[in-house]
Chains A and B, each alone.
Chain A
């Protein structure tokens, strides 16, 4: 490690078709050197194909692909100097942990002594000192994950690619590995691209997130921005929970079918999104608030928060309130909900 030359990744109009299916459709993206980039999408959204295109397991049918400013679209994976962690880790069962980690160095022709030194460094980095002689089948899931990571970074790759790296771990281990992954990535400063269908994981780990749907890049940006100001309904709903209101567009205001006007900071858009945690009950009586009247239909307590379900003109509205709050209302009561225009996010589609 160390001395890894940081390389960004740039995709321009990258398209991949399998038979008649367009798995990746004209995706353009830039990953900054040293950044942690999450590709998020439901299954079948093309995120894994996109990762395999960056890796070089697949070649694009159209578009340009650069790693560190060098065009690589036609370069096979073994020549791309990437490191990859597979969903099932893909550790070589016939080799010890040290042989697994040293494999990339060995095929590159590095001598045994230099190899042993780098392997020991990599083991220390993933906190598995002394595990070198063990066999993969003697390790726990979390340890295998660390070995796979060490194997992927020991060759000083230009880019680290992670395919659903934490999906095989249970919840508590997953959270621990998220922290570890971030620490290791910061320590060696490697450009990292990872694929996940878990929005929480994407929010926790990424510097930037790209949301994919049906092979297209829907939106891209830092997690905070994407969460607070999604531009599309798909992004708003996929990244956390959102209440969507549709109505007649006007400049900075949306008129719902029942005449309620919701003010927001955008132009004339057909819909807006409001996060459940931004909605309050019985808002202060000054004019700054958007107000919606809705009938309470249910309340689900889940510890720190409680989820209220309400109905407004045939639409369900979800509101998140502190779990400890006492609710003075019973199902069937009409409530006034309020949210600020700054939390009323205009959506283009």
Chain B
């Protein structure tokens, strides 16, 4: 038993190393004075200082943040409304609608991105941030619908009936009964939407205007021009923020069943 236990622990450790070692190295190097990854590490904040002066990277980071925030807002509102609609109402084609929500998650982004580029060109939407946001929202909605629907599956519809019998309007029921129940899932869905948008490269690359790119696109073109440790610095910041978000998701997901 204890041998198996030790093996299990070793395996777990290896898995975590596999996941986090490259990230750890990158984070360590962002604090190393040498641009050539020379060891031992000489602690230095110089790349963060350089980052603060790199207008292109900072502008791209800011672009990424506001596009992700707008995407989160839109995708969460639309996705939650869709999940509530699917839960409350029976209508023709509901099953088809539900089933068709899933494939976009599996379709490679390169293909989705190409399709969007062609389609947006076809209907006359130009490249630029609105196009990027449209693309991101379309990608993020299924995640929100799926997360919120999973929570709603555990919702007792007689709670809504009880609220109605007590004189509550549809809005009061949603506000006081349904939303509090699905709130953890809505927040989790919102964080997913943020992550989908913030991490998105392919679609942003296709749909963004050359002067107004997002952070992943800017990092990609910076690397092509020549790597600088400033990229380690911004990446370390992004990783820190992303991991914090995902830890919140994990916490809320466990919160999930409020008894």
Tell me whether A86 is interfacial, beta carbon within 8 Å: yes
Q: Would you give the shortest CB distance from A237 to chain B, in whole angstroms?
A: 32
**Which residues of B have CB within 8 Å of A151?**
162, 166
Tell me whether A131 is interfacial, beta carbon within 8 Å: no
Tell me whether B114 is interfacial, beta carbon within 8 Å: no
Q: CA A239 – CA B98 in complex, angstroms?
A: 48
- Return the chain B residue nearest A137 by Cβ: B259
A residues near B (Cβ < 8 Å) are 55, 57, 76-79, 81-84, 86, 88, 90-94, 103-104, 106-108, 135, 137, 151-152, 155, 161
Known: A93-B181, A94-B180. A103 touches B166 (CB 8 A): yes
- Return the chain A residue nearest B181 by Cβ: A94
**Which residues of B have CB within 8 Å of A77?**
161, 164-165
Tell me whether B55 is interfacial, beta carbon within 8 Å: no
- Return the chain A residue nearest B259 by Cβ: A137
Specify which of A78, A91, A104 lies most central, judged by the most chain B CB atoms within 10 Å of its CB: A78
Known: A92-B159, A108-B167. 16 other contacts (CB 8 A): A55-B165, A77-B161, A78-B164, A78-B166, A90-B162, A92-B163, A92-B176, A93-B159, A94-B258, A103-B163, A103-B166, A104-B166, A107-B166, A107-B172, A107-B176, A151-B166
Q: Would you give the shortest CB distance from A5 to chain B, in whole angstroms?
A: 16
Give how many B residues have a beta carbon under 8 Å from the other chain's beta carbons.
19
- 25 pairs across A/B with beta carbons < 8 Å? A57-B161, A57-B164, A77-B165, A78-B164, A78-B168, A81-B167, A84-B161, A86-B158, A88-B158, A90-B158, A90-B162, A91-B162, A92-B176, A93-B258, A94-B180, A94-B181, A103-B163, A103-B168, A104-B166, A104-B167, A104-B168, A107-B163, A107-B172, A137-B259, A151-B162
**Which residues of A have CB within 8 Å of B161?**
57, 77, 84, 86, 90
Q: CA A78 – CA B163 in complex, angstroms?
A: 8
Closest CB pairs A-B (n = 10): A104-B166, A90-B162, A84-B165, A90-B158, A94-B180, A107-B168, A137-B259, A77-B164, A78-B164, A107-B172
Q: Would you give the shortest CB distance from A121 to chain B, in whole angstroms?
A: 17
Q: Is the interface of B mostly helix, strand, loop or mixed?
A: helix
Q: CA A108 – CA B163 in complex, angstroms?
A: 12
**CB distance A82 to B165 under 8 Å?**
yes
**CB distance A92 to B165 under 8 Å?**
no
Q: CA A93 – CA B257 in complex, angstroms?
A: 11
Q: CA A151 – CA B180 in complex, angstroms?
A: 20
Q: Would you give the shortest CB distance from B174 to chain A, in whole angstroms?
A: 12
Q: Would you give the shortest CB distance from B11 to chain A, in whole angstroms?
A: 38
Q: Would you give the shortest CB distance from A108 to chain B, in whole angstroms?
A: 6
Tell me whether B7 is interfacial, beta carbon within 8 Å: no
